[in-house]
Structure 1
């Protein structure tokens, strides 16, 4: 069962990482992509990052309890 929480935590961190990348592209901080300076990615990125952080935190809390 411990492996499941470790894998879920890693997945949450990965999703959060991609969310941050998308947000930075949407805000125009990272240039050179069709996603740069696009409002869509400025909204989707932070939402995705928050979901990833939430998944990682819940997984870490469950892992800490065991």
Structure 2
């Protein structure tokens, strides 16, 4: 990512993805009861993948910008 706006957008989306993914992991494991998703293992896996996607966005948005030729 070259522009500051793209890096900032990727970081914001990454943090939101991590938070939502963590919520879904908690619901899928039954730690956060009170919804139709609670205790359904499918939501644990979806949340875990979303957390990984968020972490990847944060990682790639922090890589140094290569010098232009």
Task: With the length of structure 1 as denominator, give the TM-score of the two structures.
Answer: 0.87
Q: Which runs of 4+ in 1 moved over 3 A?
A: none
Q: CA RMSD in A?
A: 1.0
Unaligned runs of 5+ in 1: none
Q: Secondary structure at the match of 1:34?
A: coil
Q: Over alpha carbons, which structure has the higher Rg?
A: 2
Q: Of residues 49, 65, 69 in structure 2, which corresponds to 1:47? A: 49
Unaligned runs of 5+ in 2: none
Equivalent runs, 1:1-66 vs 2, <5 Å:
1-61=3-63, 65-66=64-65
1:43 Cα deviation (Å)?
1.0
Structure whose residues are more often helix by fraction: 1
Task: With the length of structure 2 as denominator, give the TM-score of the two structures.
Answer: 0.84
Count of matched residue pairs: 63
